[in-house]
Amino acid sequence: MSILTSTRPYRIPGYLRPRPATVLGLAPPAWAAVLGLAAMAAVELASRTGVVSKFDLVPPSRMAARAAGLLTDTGFLTGQLVPSIGLIAATFAIAGGLGVAAAYLLWRSEWCRKATLPLLGVYYAVPVFAVYPILVVLFGVGTAPILVVSVAFAVVVVITNSLTGFDSVPATVTKLARARRLTARQYLTKVLLPAAVPDVVAGLRLGLVYSTIGVLATEFILSTKGLGHFIADAYHTFRVDDMYAGILLICVVALILNVTVAAMLGRIDWRRR
Amino acid sequence: MRGRVVSRLVDVQDATKKFGQVTALGPISLTIGEGEFVSIVGPSGCGKSTLLEIIGGLQHTSSGSVQVRGEELTGPRDETAIVFQDSATLPWRTVLDNVAFALEARKVPRDARRRIAEERLATVGLQDFADHYPAQLSGGMRQRVAIARALTTDPDLILADEPFGALDEQTRLLMSYELLRVVERLACGVLFITHSIQEAVLLSDRVIVMSARPGRILDDIAIPLPHPRDPDVLSQPAATEAANRIWGLIRREAQLAMGAAS
Amino acid sequence: MTTAETVVPPVVRQPDRTSRQSRIATASAPVVLTLGLVGLWWATALVLDSSVFPDPATAVQRLLVNLESARFLRSVTGTIVRLAISYSLVVIVGAAIGFALGLSRFWSDAVSPLLYAIYSIPKVVLFPLFLLFLGLGATSQIAFAFFSGVLPMILMMTNAAAAAPRLPLKLAASLRMSRAAVICKIVVPNALPAFTSALRLTFGLTFLGLLIVEMFSGVSGLGYELLRNIPLARMGDIIGEVILVVVMALVPVTALRALEGRIHRRYSAGGAK
């Protein structure tokens, strides 16, 4: 008779059984949404009922309302939002270009690779932002230091990922290219760059994340304008509503930037087709 | 001594396996006698590995029954040992600790574990490598470790899922002779999945040929070669005849499978 | 076919020749580069005004002078203590949560999107929330540094626990091993290499988070010292402190890299064929 009706106690171990499709009728994505919404509802409740002081926590509904209000305020837009987004975009462009170029240099020169790789390996262990004060003393508070620090922060992740991409050209393809006597430039454009695209794309996506973090963190620590500065300023002047609205806006902006760039880069990423 | 089939060890009746609406396997009915060496050959994707895992208690059937020693199978059995295609050795343990792994799962005390593991390692000829790590061994040697591990629990049924599949041709040949030597001294039943007709004929008492998906049994061919066997036995006419018969069936199925793929 | 341009560079990677010459080259290259950069620094300092851009010797000297001051020493030890506490919490709490989550494929699939979403927010802008709820002192700084490091640790350990290779699990199932035994004997050892990598990566992130919040709102600590010297334009002191930060970061990270290398060699499946 069918195994399923057997009464022997031992069954196939749980760790070998496939993941259940649903728990309590919901699949994982539904659970993610449920948990996220529950968290937001809890925050809304806690702030409205006064469980948490009204000066510390603001209902998400009011955060959203204030954020919408900020978006219609031209002063905010020109003074904080646009400069920050502009800086992030500029950082991303520079870090991306420099990173890929530097990776190509490392790939071409064995000595450069040997010299630089250990340093790149420990690069992110060292808080890069420590050099921000140096730059501020040299150049004053403004766009240049923020740009330099953010690019320095974002470029290494682009380099390491792009280098992995260049290294990933299969040896047999390289041999084929040499047999066909491709010039260095043809090899770069027709073989190396296309092969490296998936890893370069991964590196660029991380580069965008790091650019965002870099710009906002430096604006936050010390700056006269920008989204990061807006939040710091709102905190210092006890404008809690503005602070939360600013945080919410940053989350939304970060999400939109990531999704847009991911979609754009995804079109050339052949591993995901 | 091998070759005398005494009683039924494994009895599969009309087993099928469905994934969703698709029938991947079956219906299959087969038996394995105690002390019998049975090979299964068939095209890729026909469900041989699924069948092996079902008999090993790692998967349920969708319908039909599997009995081992007269009892309905509900999960893995202590007396069954499985050898997988990739040796499934744990890279962080020494060879000896890998061989002893099965006994460790049984909570056999340490000294007894060591002793038995050393004996089984010697059986497969790797006694000098007890303190090495799997990464330092070749693929063939790692499979010998897996076989030694399977032998530590004195199983009455060994299930081998293409154990030599990842090896090159020459190593395969040597490994099959090696396996023959080990198995000739044991009394356990063996179910052996392979792509190599030569291996199947060399080692088995019976060869089961399966069709392409959904896998069913096309034929159950007895190999009437005498025991104890040695590699020369392949040159006997009975061996060639069996091999040709198997190949005739396989070729058709392989062509069907290739046609289905394109 | 031009004759002027070079043909494809022969970068079919040679297996590392462990000849003495090549090993010396590999080890010395980063040292040479570092010395070269320091030399460049010295040269620049000679060219520029020494009060604006001091040379390395002055910076080290200022650092040593500062280290003799009791107040500065208290600042530095304060940072070290806070770093130790937050990093320990990251390792213990983060690894435990991440590992437990990874054991359940269903729940890791459900919760991961939320974790990734939080991970992609520039965390520094959430720091005012920590200040609001935990006050201005060490608690909020430790909590934020913990928060910076724990998310990547959780994500990495979740992946590590979920990535247990299938064949050993089937083997364990065929041996009727209990779930606990499988976790101890297979899942944990398999996750150890990823754990050591996570140890190294999260150290840098934790330290970075701590430094940023010390810069923003500290009353003591290295980050505070750095920022404090900006309006005083004490470049020598600032650069000396940056050197201290680099040393403080490099020592543990070098040790963690060594550990990572050893564990990876022993535990990884890749090896001699």
Distance CA A178, CA C70 (A): 65
- The alpha carbon dihedral of B43, B45, B49, B50 has a sign of negative
Instruction: For A69-123, write each residue's pLDDT tens digit.
Output: 888 888 888 888 999 999 999 999 999 999 999 999 999 888 899 889 888 888 8
Taking CB atoms and an 8 Å limit, are C269 and B105 in contact across chains?
A: no
Distance CA C72, CA C123 (A): 28
Is a pLDDT exceeding 50 seen at residue A2? no
Distance CA C129, CA A57 (A): 9
CB distance C128 to A232 below 8 Å:
yes
Taking CB atoms and an 8 Å limit, are B105 and C177 in contact across chains?
A: yes
Distance CA B190, CA B200 (A): 12
Mean pLDDT of chain A: 85
Q: C113 contacts in A (CB within 8 Å)? A: 29, 32
Structural Rg of chain A based on CA atoms: 25
| Comparison of pLDDT for A2 and A39, the residue scoring more | A39
CB distance A166 to A109 below 8 Å:
no
Instruction: For B72-121, write each residue's pLDDT tens digit.
Output: 888 898 899 999 988 789 999 999 999 999 999 999 999 999 999 999 99
Distance CA B50, CA B60 (A): 10
Distance CA A125, CA C250 (A): 7
Half-sphere exposure of A272 (CA within 13 A, CB side): 13
pLDDT band at A254 (very low <50, low <70, confident <90, very high): confident
Is a pLDDT exceeding 50 seen at residue C86? yes
Distance CA B6, CA B9 (A): 9
For residue C7, the model assigns a pLDDT of: 54
Structural Rg of chain B based on CA atoms: 18
Beta bridge partners of B33: B8
Total domains, chain A = 1
Interface of A with B in 5-24 (CB under 8 A): 6, 8, 10-13, 16
Q: A10 contacts in B (CB within 8 Å)? A: 74-76
Domain assignment present for A256: yes
Distance CA B242, CA C3 (A): 63
Q: How far is A74 from chain C (nearest CA, A)?
A: 22
Domain assignment present for A244: yes
Q: How far is CA A225 from the centre of its chain?
A: 22
Chain B interface includes C272 (CB < 8 A)? yes
Largest CA distance in chain C: 75
What percentage of chain C carries pLDDT values higher than 70?
90
CB distance C5 to A182 below 8 Å:
no
CB distance A62 to A241 below 8 Å:
yes
Distance CA B174, CA B167 (A): 10
Nearest CA in chain A to C11: A108
Domain assignment present for A126: no
Taking CB atoms and an 8 Å limit, are C271 and B86 in contact across chains?
A: no
Torsion of CA A12, A14, A15, A21, to 10 degrees: 110
Instruction: For C198-239, write each residue's pLDDT tens digit.
Output: 999 899 999 999 998 898 887 888 989 888 888 887 888 888
Domain assignment present for A259: yes
Domain assignment present for A63: no
What's A103's domain CATH number?
A: 1.10.3720
Predicted ipTM of the assembly: 0.88
Report the SS3 class of residue B80. Answer: strand
Chain B interface includes A172 (CB < 8 A)? no
- Expressed as residue numbers, the domain containing A102 is 69-120+154-272
Amino acid (one-letter) located at A35: L
Work out the end-to-end distance of chain A between its first and last CA atoms, rounded to an integer number of angstroms: 47
The pair of structure tokens assigned to C20 is 């003495």
Within chain B, how many helices (H) and strands (E) appear? Answer: 8, 10
Largest CA distance in chain A: 84
Domain assignment present for A53: no
Chains that touch C (3 or more CB pairs under 8 A): A, B
For residue B165, the model assigns a pLDDT of: 87
Chain B interface includes A2 (CB < 8 A)? yes
Written as one string, the DSSP assignment of A81-148 is IHHHHHHHHHHHHHHHHHHHHHHHHHHH-HHHHHHHHHHHHHHTTS-GGGGHHHHHHHH-SSHHHHHH
Domain assignment present for A116: yes
Is a pLDDT exceeding 70 seen at residue B261? no
| Length of chain C (residues) | 273
Report the SS3 class of residue B137. Answer: coil
Residues A128, A167, C268: CA angle, nearest 5 degrees? 80
For residue A142, the model assigns a pLDDT of: 84
Report the SS3 class of residue B88. Answer: coil
Q: A12 contacts in B (CB within 8 Å)? A: 57-60, 75-76
Taking CB atoms and an 8 Å limit, are B74 and A3 in contact across chains?
A: yes
Instruction: For C112-122, write each residue's pLDDT tens digit.
Output: 888 888 887 88
Q: How many CB atoms lie within 10 A of CB C137?
A: 12
Distance CA B119, CA B125 (A): 10
Half-sphere exposure of C161 (CA within 13 A, CB side): 25
CB distance A227 to A219 below 8 Å:
yes
User: Which residue among C171, C192, C270 sits closest to B88, beta carbon to beta carbon?
Assistant: C171
Chains that touch A (3 or more CB pairs under 8 A): B, C
The H or E element spanning position C57 is helix C56-68
Chain A interface includes B61 (CB < 8 A)? yes
| Comparison of pLDDT for A271 and A191, the residue scoring more | A191
What percentage of chain B carries pLDDT values higher than 70?
97
Q: How far is C67 from chain A (nearest CA, A)?
A: 18
Taking CB atoms and an 8 Å limit, are B61 and A12 in contact across chains?
A: no
| Length of chain B (residues) | 262
Domain assignment present for A255: yes
Distance CA B96, CA B119 (A): 10
Q: B75 contacts in C (CB within 8 Å)? A: 176
Distance CA C108, CA A149 (A): 35
Q: How far is CA B89 from CA A266, B80, B83, C170, C267, in A?
A: 38, 18, 11, 12, 12
Report the SS3 class of residue A73. Answer: coil
Mean pLDDT of chain C: 85
Taking CB atoms and an 8 Å limit, are C267 and B138 in contact across chains?
A: no
pLDDT band at C2 (very low <50, low <70, confident <90, very high): very low
Q: B73 contacts in A (CB within 8 Å)? A: 3
Instruction: For C151-199, write each residue's pLDDT tens digit.
Output: 999 999 999 998 888 899 999 999 999 999 999 999 999 999 999 999 9
Contacts of B189 (CB under 8 A, 6+ apart): B9, B10, B32, B33, B34, B35, B36, B37, B38, B156, B157, B158
Distance CA B63, CA B75 (A): 15
